[in-house]
Amino acid sequence: MKNLLLSLVILIFLVGCHATKSRTSNTDAVEQEIAATTSDTVTIANDELEYEIIIIEPGFNAWLLSTARPEGYYSQGFLESRNYLYVTEWNQRVRQPLRYNPNLYEMQIDYSPNIDYGYEVNYKLYNYFIYFQRTYKQRLGPFTPRI
């Protein structure tokens, strides 16, 4: 099965646990962190083509629902052309870990302009790139990331 896998994992470490806290409160805090991470996992799949993107990014799902333009706002051609530019730059940064933060650019993205991934895959991938650029103050292309 072909997989288009974008797994951007931001690990959240619990720091500063006080010795006076009870074990129950530490367990509750860990459970809340796991729940927050789980709710921020977005899976994008095109079953016909057997492609899948998994985005694990705290805050992305909420941003997608509240801030991003609604589905249908952009044409699929627009999304495909922007995604190709962003993926190309992303992959270049993954291959240069001494120049770019390897914690931000962890894995390459296998994205081909010759494959029709469908609207949903392109929509969510595009919006992830916008979210990523705005959140981490990065610029992946010649365009200012805007909503």
Q: What is the pLDDT of residue 27?
A: 52
Reported as a single tens digit per residue, the pLDDT across 6-30 is 333 332 222 233 333 334 445 555 4
Instruction: Extract the tokens encoding 119.
Output: 């609207």
76: exposed, middle or buried (Cβ count in 10 Å: 0-12, 13-18, 19+): middle
Which residues, 6 or more positions from 86, have their beta carbon under 8 angstroms from its beta carbon? 126, 129, 140, 141
Which residues, 6 or more positions from 104, have their beta carbon under 8 angstroms from its beta carbon? 93, 132, 136, 138
Q: What is the pLDDT of residue 25?
A: 47
Q: What is the pLDDT of residue 4?
A: 39
What average pLDDT score do residues 71-81 get? 95
Reported as a single tens digit per residue, the pLDDT across 30-49 is 454 444 444 566 666 666 65
What are φ and ψ of residue 120, in 5° steps? -60, -45
Domain coordinates in residue numbering, the chain: 23-136
Tokens 């365009």: give the residue: 143
